[in-house]
Amino acid sequence: MEYKKHYTDEELTEVVNWFKEHFDELPQSIHIDKATYIADLKHTVTLYYDIVAKHKDNPTYAAQIHHIYQMRDAVLRKWEEDKATQG
């Protein structure tokens, strides 16, 4: 998802629900990009649920909210890489 100053309720519900549905499948840790490493992804994601819920209407938090999309993209990339190396 591209960065926006405001995400719709539908977009936010979708990404939060995606993480809740795949929570048990999430890797322990992940690199979002070359400079950003999350050591405990599950814990971090649960913290972002609160950020999304409390600050979804405040454009000041748009960058933080965008992180949850970056985390999902990183997980999807990792799953694809894992699938390619296993198959």
For residue 85, the SS3 value is: helix
Query: What confidence category does residue 86 fall into, taking pLDDT thresholds of 50, 70 and 90?
Result: confident
pLDDT at 8 over 80: yes
CB 13 within 8 A of CB 68: no
Domain ranges of the chain: 9-86
Return the ∠ at Cα 63 (arms to 59 and 67), rounded to 5°. Answer: 135
Contacts of 71 (CB under 8 A, 6+ apart): 19, 30, 32, 38, 41, 44, 45, 48
pLDDT at 1: 85
62-86 and 41-55 helices, crossing angle to 10°:
150
pLDDT at 87 over 70: no
Token output for 21:
């549905």
pLDDT per residue over 11-61, tens digit each? 999 999 999 999 999 999 999 999 999 999 999 999 999 999 999 999 999
